C-alpha cells in the first residue's frame, strides 16, 4: 500500500516514528477481537522528507503487505458476497480483483492513517490541537455519559478503545460472543476535537461539517454521521438549542455547545464533536444465500481472516480523516485575509 501527500508545506518536522505510532493503532492482529492477520505495517518514507523535515514536494510513503493470502479468496472469484462491493465493481468496471476487495477493502485505510499523522504534525505547529476518537457504542452496549465526563486518555487502555472501563468489558464480551457465532457487530465512534482555532471552514459548499461528513462517509463500512446535537437537536426548541455567547477572560465562547463547535460552517473555537456510525462487518463466517456472476443462486461460505467488529481499529482512521480535513481547511484559511 502507498500514499502520496501533496500540498504539505516545507519545514514540518516528520519522522517515520511519528507515522508508525498511528499505524500501530490501526494495524491488524492487535488483539483477540480483531482479525488474526499479522501485518507489521512498517512505513517507509520514499520522498518529500529530508533530514527530518518536509521539503514542500509531494511526500510518498510505502507500507508493504507481508501476510497476504490471496488463495483465501479463490472460492469466491465468481460469487457476489452480500453487502460487499463485488457486484457493483463488476458492473461498473466489467472486471474486478477478487483477492481481498481491492480499493473497496479497508486495507486502503492504512494510507489515510499515515497521511493523517503528517497532517496532525502540521496542525500542531500552529495550534494546541487534540483529536481524540473513541468507541462509544457496540450494538446495544453504549456509553451513556457525555464525552466531557470521560477521561479520554483511557481510550487505549483496553482492546476495544472505549474510555469507560465498565462498558468496555461489556463490549468486549459482546464482540467475543459474535465472533464465536461467526457473526459481526457494528457501532458508533465519537470524535472530539479540542484546541482548534476559530475560522476553519469555507462558506456554502466547503463548510467544516460538510467536509467532515464527506471524509467520514468515505471510510469503508460507515453508514451515518451526525455532529453536535445531531438528530437529537430536532427534539429541542430554538430557545433550548441556541448556544448563548459568553465572555471567558480574553476569549469569546458559548455557554452550551449544541452546534458542535461549528457555526455557519466555520469553527468557533469550542470543542468540535461528532459521531460516526459503522455497519457490522460484511464478511461473516456463516452460510449465506447469494448469486454468482452467471446469475445462479448459490450458498456462499467465506473463508479468511476478518474483524468481527471494525470499530476498535477504526478509531485511528476517524482521527486521521479529521486531521486531513482540518489541515486542508487550515491551509485554505491562510488565503482568506491578509
Note the pTM of the prediction, 2 decimals: 0.94
Query: Which of these, 309, 305, 266, lies nearest to 38 by C-alpha position?
Result: 305
In contact, 16 and 45? CB cutoff 8 Å: yes
In contact, 96 and 303? CB cutoff 8 Å: no
- At 65, is the pLDDT very low, low, confident or very high (cuts 50, 70, 90)? confident
Residue 269's Cβ-side half-sphere holds a number of Cα atoms within 13 Å equal to: 12
Give the residue-averaged pLDDT of 26-42.
81
Residue 330's Cβ-side half-sphere holds a number of Cα atoms within 13 Å equal to: 21
pLDDT at 290: 94
- At 69, is the pLDDT very low, low, confident or very high (cuts 50, 70, 90)? low
Scored b (16 or more CB within 10 A) or e, 194-205 reads bebeeebbbeee
Strand partners, 53: 13, 50
Residue with cell 493470502: 69
User: Which domains, ranges and CATH numbers included, belong to the chain?
Assistant: 2-333 (3.60.150.10)
CA torsion 169-302-305-319 (nearest 10°) is -70
Position with higher pLDDT, 242 vs 102: 242
* Per-residue pLDDT tens over the stretch 212-232: 999 999 999 999 999 999 999
The C-alpha atoms of residue 265 and residue 201 are separated, in whole angstroms, by 6
- At 128, is the pLDDT very low, low, confident or very high (cuts 50, 70, 90)? very high
The C-alpha atoms of residue 197 and residue 190 are separated, in whole angstroms, by 20
Distance of CA 264 to the CA centre of its chain: 24
* Per-residue pLDDT tens over the stretch 129-183: 999 999 999 998 999 999 999 999 999 999 999 999 999 999 999 999 999 999 9
The three cell numbers of residue 173 are 464480551
* Per-residue pLDDT tens over the stretch 275-309: 999 999 998 989 999 999 999 999 998 876 788 99
Residue with cell 452550551: 256
182: number of Cβ within 10 Å: 13
Amino acid at each position: 500500500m502507498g500514499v502520496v501527500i501533496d500540498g504539505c508545506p516545507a519545514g514540518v518536522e516528520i519522522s517515520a516514528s511519528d507515522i508508525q505510532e498511528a499505524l500501530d493503532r490501526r494495524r491488524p492482529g492487535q488483539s483477540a477481537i480483531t482479525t488474526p492477520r499479522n501485518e507489521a505495517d512498517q512505513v517507509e518514507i520514499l520522498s518529500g522528507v529530508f533530514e527530518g523535515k518536509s521539503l514542500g514536494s509531494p511526500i510518498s510513503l510505502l507500507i508493504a503487505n507481508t501476510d497476504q493470502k490471496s488463495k483465501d479468496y479463490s472460492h469466491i472469484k465468481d460469487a457476489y458476497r452480500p453487502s460487499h462491493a463485488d457486484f457493483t465493481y463488476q458492473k461498473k468496471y466489467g472486471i474486478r480483483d477478487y483477492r481481498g476487495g481491492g480499493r473497496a477493502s479497508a486495507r486502503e485505510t492504512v494510507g489515510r492513517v499515515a497521511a493523517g499523522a503528517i497532517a496532525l504534525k502540521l496542525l500542531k505547529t500552529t495550534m494546541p490541537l487534540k483529536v481524540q476518537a473513541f468507541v462509544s457504542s457496540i450494538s446495544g452496549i453504549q456509553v451513556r455519559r457525555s464525552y466531557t465526563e470521560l477521561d479520554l486518555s483511557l481510550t487505549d487502555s483496553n482492546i476495544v478503545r472505549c474510555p469507560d472501563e465498565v462498558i468496555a468489558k461489556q463490549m468486549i464480551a459482546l464482540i467475543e460472543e459474535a465472533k464465536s457465532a461467526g457473526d459481526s457487530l457494528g457501532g458508533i465512534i465519537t470524535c472530539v476535537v479540542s484546541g482548534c482555532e476559530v475560522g476553519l471552514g469555507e462558506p456554502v459548499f466547503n463548510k467544516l461539517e460538510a467536509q467532515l461528513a464527506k471524509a467520514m462517509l468515505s471510510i469503508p463500512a460507515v453508514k451515518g454521521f451526525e455532529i453536535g446535537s445531531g438528530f437529537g437537536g430536532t427534539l429541542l426548541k430554538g430557545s433550548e438549542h441556541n448556544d448563548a455567547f459568553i465572555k471567558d477572560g480574553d476569549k469569546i465562547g458559548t455557554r452550551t455547545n449544541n452546534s458542535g463547535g461549528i457555526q455557519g460552517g466555520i469553527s468557533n473555537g469550542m470543542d468540535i464533536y461528532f459521531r460516526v456510525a459503522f455497519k457490522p462487518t460484511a464478511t461473516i463466517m456463516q452460510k449465506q444465500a447469494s448469486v454468482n456472476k452467471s446469475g445462479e443462486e448459490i450458498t456462499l461460505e467465506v473463508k479468511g481472516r476478518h474483524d468481527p467488529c471494525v470499530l476498535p481499529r477504526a478509531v485511528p482512521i476517524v482521527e486521521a480523516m479529521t486531521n486531513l480535513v482540518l489541515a486542508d481547511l487550515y491551509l485554505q484559511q491562510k488565503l482568506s485575509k491578509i
